[in-house]
Amino acid sequence: MPPSAPASALSDVTASDSTLRRFLHGLPGVDAVGLEARAASLGTRSIKTTAKAYAIDLAISMVDLTTLEGADTPGKVRALGAKAVHPDPTDRTTPTTAAVCVYPDMVAVAKEAVAGSGVKVASVATAFPAGRAALEVKLADVREAVAAGADEIDMVIDRGAFLAGRYLKVYDEIVAVKEACGTNARLKVIFETGELSTYDNIRRASWLGMLAGADFIKTSTGKVAVNATPPNTLLMLEAVRDFRALTGVQVGVKPAGGIRTSKDAIKFLVLVNETAGADWLDNHWFRFGASSLLNDLLMQRQKLATGRYSGPDYVTVD
């Protein structure tokens, strides 16, 4: 991992609220219709046979298998961990998922469940999903998760501050959380794109997050009406592509919420392939935040292997 501090070219951008605002508002605008048309056009790519097999395995390897329920228990989390390690018990060639994603109090359980498998444990933190808490509370949340062994922290930004134009506050908070993550945990910054409302805001938030040291930028919590969509993910892929071109720093992207089918997942991989490029086609740089997606990927994988359509009874419900 290269250091994720902003490159010197951009070091003065965050000098004050006004310089930051000027920078973010100076980014090229986004034409919504054009963006959506491009996403739709890439959505017509026809991914068949060997390409499909490759894409399905890649997608499985990119899943952050997630449970973020009030009713989560150690048992539920252990089952999820087992599934992440062996997504398809009938076929050991199936890749593991990238991570399991849980609340901070479940990190220790998850860590134990995936021990030795290479599957990471990600934890949402910073008063997920609303992000409405004092900074100290958020940082405590992060520290607890990291202390329990979380490899990755999925933080939410303060959308209220963002929409009010207090970009430096959002920036400072991300910097503080990044610091709390220490050197071992990678930081995913969730924008809750559905609440940012406009594509221009999503582009600005992406740059803001990357300037503040995000390792990943992530669309959503999965807890609002509109989560990951092809256009908003395409837009974020453009942002990480441009950020690397400018600073040399590569940042990952994680669409989360609403991606349920293999067909959808493959469309996202096409977006990655033709926007950010092949460098991002790796679970170090691209993730799917999803729960039900995995089973559909597994059923499709079985179909490709056997030529028969599979059914829900042939994949595990965890």
Partner 1 sequence: MSEKTEQQRLTVFKTYKLYVGGKFPRSESGRVYEVTDSKGNWLANAPQSSRKDARDAVVAARKAFGAWSGATAYNRGQVLYRVAEMLEGRREQFVREVAEAEGLSKSKAAAVVDATIDRWVWYAGWTDKISQVVGGANPVAGPYFNLSSPEPSGVVAVVAPQESSFLGLVSVVAPVIATGNTAVVIASEKAPLPALSLGEVLATSDVPGGVVNVLSGRTAEIAAPLAAHQDVNAIDLAGADEGLAKELEIAAADNLKRVLRPQPVDYFETPGIERLTAFLETKTVWHPTGSLGASGSSY
Partner 2 sequence: MNNVSSAFEYAPAPESRSVVDIAPSYGLFIDGEFTEAADGKVFKTISPSTEEVLSEVAQAGSEDVDRAVKAARKAFEKWSALPGSERAKYLFRIARIIQERSRELAVLETLDNGKPIKETRDADLPLVAAHFFYYAGWADKLEHAGFGRNPRPLGVAGQVIPWNFPLLMLAWKIAPALATGNTVVLKPAETTPLSALFFADICRQAGLPKGVVNILPGYGDTGAALVAHPDVNKVAFTGSTAVGKEIARTVAGTRKKLTLELGGKGANIVFDDAPIDQAVEGIVNGIFFNQGQVCCAGSRLLVQESIQDELLESLKRRLSTLRLGDPLDKNTDIGAINSAEQLARISALAEQGQAEGAERWSPACELPESGYWFAPTLFTNVTQAHTIARDEIFGPVLSVLTFRTPDEAVAKANNTQYGLSAGIWTEKGSRILAVANKLRAGVVWSNTFNKFDPTSPFGGYKESGFGREGGRHGLEAYLDV
- Residues labelled as active-site residues: 154, 218, 254
Supply the minimum distance, in Å, between the C-beta of residue 289 and partner 1: 16
The neighbouring-strand residues paired with 64 are 99, 289
Asked whether position 79 contacts partner 1 by CB under 8 A, the answer is no
Please count the residues of this chain forming the interface with partner 1, following the rule CB under 8 A.
Answer: 25
Which positions from 109 through 168 interact with partner 2, judged by CB under 8 A?
118
> How many C-beta atoms lie closer than 10 Å to residue 251's C-beta?
25
Binding site partner of 38, from partner 1, partner 2, none, Cβ cut-off 5-8 A by kind:
partner 2
Nearer Cβ to partner 1 (95/231): 231
Point out which span in 204-212, 255-263, 274-282, 285-293 binds partner 2 (CB under 8 A): 274-282
Reported as type and span, the H/E element at residue 168 is helix 167-181
Residue found under tokens 């086609």: 281
Query: According to CB under 8 A, which one of 72, 112, 172, 274 is a site residue for partner 2?
Result: 274
Scanning residues 25 to 44, which ones bind partner 1 (CB under 8 A)? 31-34, 36, 39-40, 43
Q: How far apart are CA 78 and CA 76, in angstroms?
A: 6
Six-digit token pair at 273?
Answer: 């392939």
Q: Does 197 bind partner 1 (CB under 8 A)?
A: yes
CA pair distance 310, 91, nearest whole angstrom = 14
Name the amino acid, one letter, at 62.
M
Among 44, 70, 134, 306, binds partner 2 (CB under 8 A): 44
Nearest to 111 by CA among 73, 87, 68, 78: 78
What, of partner 2, partner 1, none, does residue 232 touch, CB below 5 to 8 Å by kind? partner 1
Element (H, E) at 66: strand 63-66
Q: Is 38 in the site for partner 2 (CB under 8 A)?
A: yes
Q: Which residue is listed with tokens 């709390």?
A: 180
Q: Is residue 250 a contact residue for partner 1 (CB under 8 A)?
A: no
Torsion of CA 47, 53, 56, 58, to 10 degrees: -110
CB 257, min distance to partner 1, A: 11
Instruction: Tell me: does residue 195 bind partner 2 (CB under 8 A).
Output: no
